[in-house]
Amino acid sequence: MSTHQLNAQNLLCPMPVIKTQDKIATLASGDILEVSCTDPGVLSDIPAWCRINGHKLLHSEQSDRIIKLTIEVIHENDR
Amino acid sequence: MTKRKAVALISGGLDSLLAARVIQNQGIHVEGINFYTGFCVEGHTHAIRKKDKAKPKRNNALWSAEQLSMKLHIIDISEEYKDIVINPKHGYGAHLNPCLDCKIFMVQKALDWANDNDFDFIITGEVIGQRPKSQRKETMPIIARESGAEDRLLRPLCAQNLPATLPEREGWINRDELFGFSGRNRKPQIELANKLGFEEFAQPAGGCCFLTDEAYSNKLADLWRYRGEKRYELDDIMLLKIGRHIRPAPNFKMIVSREEGENNFLEGYRKQFLHLRTVSHNGPLTLIDGEPNAEDIELAARIAARFSQGKQDTEVQVKATFPDGQSKILGVAPILPTEIPQGWYV
Ligand code: SF4
């Protein structure tokens, strides 16, 4: 179980979602991914993507222009 | 019996939502696939412009997948897609939209994905006659053939008007429970949506692709004309979505932000371009694309001053910063609106 970072700043949706999706595909269940973004669209898109794909959004926060989302990876076989 | 699997092309519109649900209702495992071309309207416009911030920011493809309780795979095809936009074998639609080539390419990509992931067939929300260029009775077999999907491509909403496909012939799907929609009338889709319990759905008015937009296509055509070749980078097509584009001369173009959201977005590009900022008055950030000479920069500064709060003053100070970081301050008289020919606006 480890924590990983993804910088998706200055990318517009849906690119941060695609980057999150592709990064999570390389991680193991139980890993934590912290994504930082600037497009406010991620506040709806990344949680929606997590719900659809069964991963757990642990936290989201917005300060100034930076939005941070923390996701727990849960792959299908580990549910 | 093994459960058959289909991959559905999900655009975020109503038709692909319905097509996927109709197939799910026949006991097929369906997952969605959505392609990012770089020209997708979703996300960008509402994320950039502050005035659009009040509008819902949902991504309709993700929303559709959620309604369908199905997985969605979003795939970035923007690099390979360039060739489709630049050299469409079947030509363009009303603007620079290469719809037929685009459909063929997307189905081909979905087929590759289906093969890699052991899926049995592909579904789309296409309806015969729905779109003048790409969704005609004659184009349906072209898409199936040229994508390589052949009879593994099923269009549930108009299947009864087309020859039976593999899933129908094999009995994985009951053809009688598919539909024979055709034409531009949306009523059958709305009725089906109601019947299937979808009360709220996306009906993108201007389409979901910038290439069908006349103003956008004009800007792309202008870019190609003055570059002397049909070529683009992703940054180019992003910037065509933002700001006022003004071309006072063939050798340079100005991109002038219209409001704070655009200003913030253009800030991210300022290191790659010669850019102008009014320093004596509040004003927009302006990027300059091309190879302007000193006289051109002075003219650009006068134009930028016109869009600043100093537009009525006799002089506005404009800072020009070059990509190498060097800068100079110009004191200029804002250009008069009558001195900007309409033809400069791209
Ligand atoms: S509107 Fe755009 S995304 Fe849709 S088929 Fe045409 S070119 Fe492709």
CATH number of the domain enclosing B109: 3.40.50.620
Quick one: B46 and B148 in the same domain? yes
- Peptide bond connecting B88 to the previous residue in cis, omega within 30 degrees of 0: no
Residues B302 and B257 grouped into a single domain: yes
Task: In whole angstroms, give the CA distance from residue B136 to residue A32.
Answer: 48
Least confidently predicted of A69-78, B35-44, B107-116, B293-302: B35-44
Side-by-side strand order, sheet with B29-36: B72-76, B29-36, B5-9, B121-123, B153-154
Catalytic residue among A11, A13, A15, A74: A13
CB atoms within 10 A of CB A32: 17
Q: At A70, which helix (H) or strand (E)?
A: strand A66-72
Residues 6+ apart with CB under 8 A from B51: B259, B261
> What's the pLDDT tens digit per position in B230-271?
999 999 999 999 899 999 999 999 999 998 888 888 988 888
Q: Are residues B261 and B317 in the same domain?
A: yes
B57 and A43: CB-CB below 8 Å?
A: yes
Same domain, B189 and B331: no
* The residue type at B217: S
Q: Are residues B165 and B246 in the same domain?
A: no
Q: Which residue has the higher pLDDT, B40 or A48?
A: A48
User: What is the distance between the alpha carbons of residues B275 and B324, in angstroms, rounded to a whole number?
Assistant: 11
Q: Which of B97, B124, B130, B143 maximizes ligand 1 atoms within 8 Å of its Cβ, making it the mutation to test the pocket?
A: B97
User: Are residues B160 and B249 located together in one domain of the fold?
Assistant: no
pLDDT tens-place string over residues B124-167: 999 999 876 677 888 999 999 999 999 999 999 999 999 999 99
Place of tokens 């990983």: A4
Query: What is the C-alpha separation between B108 and B147, in angstroms, rounded?
Result: 4
Block residue for tokens 């506040």: A43
Mark yes or no for CB contact A49/B63 under 8 Å: no
Closest CA to B311 of B319, B302, B320, B299: B302
Residues lining ligand 1, Cβ inside 6 A: B 97-99, 102-103, 134, 207, 209, 211-212
pLDDT of B137 reads: 86
CB contact under 8 A, B62 and A45: yes
Q: Please tell me the distance in Å from B314's CA to the nearest CA on chain A.
A: 36
- C-alpha dist (Å) from residue A78 to A27, A74, B44, B252: 13, 6, 35, 56
CA B130 to chain centre: 19
Domain that holds residue B306: 242-344
Element of type H or E holding B306? helix B294-306
B234 lies in a domain? no
B204/B249 same-domain check: no
Architecture of domain A3-78: 2-Layer Sandwich (3.30)
| Interface contact A44-B59, CB threshold 8 A | yes
pLDDT of B334 > 70? The answer is yes
Question: Does B164 lie in the same domain as B77?
Answer: yes
Task: Give me the amino acid identity at B261.
Answer: G
For the CA atoms of B84, B86, B91, B97, the dihedral, rounded to the nearest 10 degrees, stands at 80
Active site residue A13: yes
* Inter-chain CB proximity B58 and A44 less than 8 Å: yes
Task: In whole angstroms, give the CA distance from residue B203 to residue B160.
Answer: 24
Among residues B29, B39, B27, B38, the alpha carbon closest in space to that of B8 is found at B29
CA Rg, chain B, in Å?
Answer: 24
- Report pLDDT for B200: 79
Residue B346 and residue B244: Cα distance in Å, rounded? Answer: 8
Q: Strands (DSSP E) along B183-268, which ranges?
A: 244-249, 252-256
Reported pTM: 0.91
Selecting from A18, A39, A43 the residue whose C-beta is nearest the C-beta of B74 gives: A18
pLDDT band for position B205 (cuts 50, 70, 90): very low
Among chain B residues, CA nearest to A38: B47
CB B134 within 8 A of CB B101: no
For chain A, domain boundaries? 3-78
Question: In this structure, are B166 and B287 located in the same domain?
Answer: no
* Partner B contacted by A74 (CB < 8 A): no
CA B37 to centroid of ligand 1, rounded, Å: 9
Confidence tier at B74 by pLDDT (50, 70, 90): very high
- Looking at the 3D structure of chain B, how many domains does it have? 2
Q: Cα(B95)–Cα(B264) distance, rounded to whole angstroms?
A: 30
Structural domain ending residue among the three candidates B164, B190, B210: B210
- Taking CA–CA distances from A39, the nearest residue in chain B reads B47
Q: Calculate how far, in angstroms, residue B202's C-alpha sits from the geometric centre of ligand 1.
A: 16
- Indicate the pairing of strand A3-8 with strand A32-37: parallel
What integer best gives the mean pLDDT of chain B?
92
> Is the residue at B112 inside a domain?
yes
What mean pLDDT is predicted for residues B314-328? 96
Query: Same domain, yes or no, for B176 and B48?
Result: yes
Is B205 domain-assigned?
A: yes
Distance (Å, whole) CA B14 – CA B125:
8
Specify the residue for token string 């979808």: B198
CB contact under 8 A, B43 and A41: yes
Contact call for A18 and B42, based on CB within 8 A: no
- The DSSP H or E segment spanning A6 is strand A3-8
What is the rounded distance in angstroms from the CA atom of residue B156 to the CA atom of residue B125? 7
Q: Is the dihedral of CA B120, B125, B126, B128 positive or negative?
A: positive
Q: Does B264 touch chain A (CB under 8 A)?
A: yes
Ligand 1, atom 5: nearest CA belongs to which residue? Answer: B99
pLDDT score of B50 more than 80: no
Q: Tell me which amino acid residue B194 is.
A: N
Degrees, nearest 5: CA angle A16-B60-A36: 20
Is B125 domain-assigned? Answer: yes
Distance (Å, rounded) from C-alpha B97 to C-alpha B13? 18
Q: Least CB-CB distance to A13: which of B43, B238, B268? A: B43
Same structural domain for residues B203 and B251?
no
Angstrom distance (rounded) from CA B127 to CA B104? 15
Q: How far is B44 from chain A (nearest CA, A)?
A: 6
In angstroms, the CA B266 to CA B205 distance is 27
Quick one: pLDDT at residue A40?
86
| Nearest-by-Cβ selection for A21 from B40, B46, B74 | B74
Give contacts of A44 with chain B, Cβ < 8 Å: 56-59
> Do B248 and B206 belong to one domain?
no
- Residue B184, domain member (yes or no): yes
Residues of chain A with pLDDT under 70: none
In 3D space, the residue among B119, B122, B146 whose CA is nearest the CA of residue B134 turns out to be B146
Within a domain: residue B233? no
- The one-letter amino acid code at B304 reads A
B268 touches chain A (CB under 8 A): yes
Asked whether residue B237 is assigned to any structural domain, the reply reads no
Query: Out of A12, A21, A49, whose CB is closest to B43?
Result: A12
Residues of A with CB below 8 A from B44's CB? 12-13
User: Which is the closest atom of ligand 1 to the Cα of B37?
Assistant: 3
Flag whether residue A60 sits within 8 Å of chain B, measured between CB atoms: no
The letter for the amino acid at A26 is T
Is B80 in contact with B112 (CB distance < 8 Å)?
no
Asked if the C-beta of B72 comes within 8 angstroms of chain A's C-beta atoms, the answer is: yes
